[in-house]
Amino acid sequence: MWEDIREDIRTVFEKDPAARSRLEVLCCYPGLHAIWMHRVAHSLWNKHFYFLARLTSHISRMLTGIEIHPGAKLGKRVFIDHGSGVVIGETAEVGDDVLIYMGVVLGGTALERTKRHPTVENEVVLGSGSIVLGPITIGKGAKVGAGSVVIRSVPAEATVVGVPARIAGPQSSGLVGQLNHDKLSDPVLTVVSQMLDRLSRLEERFQIHGESSPISAPISAITSQKTVLNEDEQIYSLLKDVIDPEVGIDIVNLGLVKEVIVEGTSVNVNLVLTTSACPMIEYLKDQVRRKVLSVNGIEKVTVNILDEPWKWGQVNRKAFH
C-alpha cells in the first residue's frame, strides 16, 4: 500500500508541472484523494460489502467532486488532474499511466447489468470535458481532445476530436500525457479543404479545355471588349477564388492578403493569418501559389506568412452577407 502511495505521488510530479512539494501533493490534490478512496471502496466492493463501498464512494464524491463507482477498475499510475466533474461508471476499466482531466465522463449507454462502460487502455490521455460512452475501447496511447464525444472505439496511438469524435491523425508526440490542442487538425476542415482543392483543379482543367476549344474564339472576341486588368488586379481577382474553409470567405475579403509584389516574372504574396495556429496554412499557400501561376508570364510565386496580428477591421463585412 505504501509503495502504491509513493508511486502515486511520483506520478503527480511527472504529470503536473504545478506540483511543488510532497506536502502540497498529499494535501491539495483531490484527484489523488479520489483514487485512494476508490481503492478502499473497490476492495469493499470485491468483498461484497456493496453498501459500505457505495457509501465510501459517495463520501469521496462529496469531498473531491469526483465520482468513481466502486465497481470500476483503475490501473497503476492513473492521474486525475483537477478532477471536478469526473465520472467513471461501474463497468469502466482504466489501464496504467492514464491521464484524466477535469469533466471527463466514462459513461454507459445501456440499462442491462452487463459491460456498458468504456475500456481505456494504457497511456491514454482524456482531455477536459471529453465524454466516452458505451462499451467501447480507447486504444493504447490514444488521445481524446477536450470537449469530444466518443461513441466508437478509438485505435491505438490515434488522436480524436470533435462531436462526435473523429480521428484527427496519429499521435504527434512520443511523450505520454502531452496533448497539444493547438496542433490538432480538424477532420471536417480537412475534408472541406480537399473538396475545395479538387473543385479548384477541375475549374482550371475546364478553363484550359475551353481555351483550346474551337468555339472559344467568339467568346474571346467578346471578352476582349472588356477592361483589361493589370497584373496586380488580375492576381487579386484570382485570389478571391481561394476560400478559407474555417471561415467560408475568400482570403481577399477576409483581409488575409497583406500585399502582392510583382517583380517581372516573380510574385511575392504576403499573407497574415486569423491565428498563428491556423490548421489550413499549407492548403492556403498551395491554392495561392497555383492561382497566381495561372497568370500569363508569371513563372515563380513565393507565399510568405507574416508574423503580424490579423484584425477584424481588415474584413470586408459585406462578404458575410
Do 77 and 8 touch, CB atoms closer than 8 A?
yes
- Asked if residue 226 has pLDDT above 70, the reply is no
* CA dist., res. 269 & res. 294, Å (int): 14
> Comparing 1-15, 70-84, 91-105, 115-129, which segment has the lowest mean pLDDT?
1-15
The C-alpha atoms of residue 178 and residue 162 are separated, in whole angstroms, by 18
The larger pLDDT score, comparing residue 111 to residue 44, is at: 44
Domain ranges of the chain: 2-183, 226-320
If we measure between CA atoms, which residue out of 96, 139, 133 comes closest to residue 116?
133
pLDDT at 269 exceeding the cut of 80: yes
pLDDT at 178: 61
φ, ψ at 249 (rounded to 5°): -125, 150
Q: Are 187 and 172 in contact (CB under 8 A)?
A: no
CATH entry, 226-320, from 3.40.50.700, 3.30.1320.10, 3.30.70.870, 3.30.300.130: 3.30.300.130
68: confidence class by pLDDT, cuts 50, 70, 90: very high
pLDDT at 18 over 80: yes
- The number of beta carbons lying within 10 Å of the beta carbon of residue 12 is 20
CATH of 2-183, one of 3.40.50.410, 2.160.10.10, 3.30.540.10, 2.60.120.620: 2.160.10.10
Highest mean pLDDT among 173-177, 232-236, 245-249: 232-236
Question: pLDDT-based confidence at 92, cuts 50/70/90?
Answer: very high
Topology match between the domains 2-183 and 226-320? no
pTM over 0.75: no
| Residue 228 banded pLDDT, cuts 50, 70, 90 | very low
How confident is the model at residue 224, as a pLDDT?
A: 39
The per-residue pLDDT of the chain, averaged, comes to: 82
- CB atoms near residue 54 (< 10 Å): 16
pLDDT value at residue 213:
58
pLDDT over threshold 50, residue 76: yes
What residues have CB less than 8 Å from 149, skipping those under 6 apart? 130, 131, 133, 162, 163, 164, 165
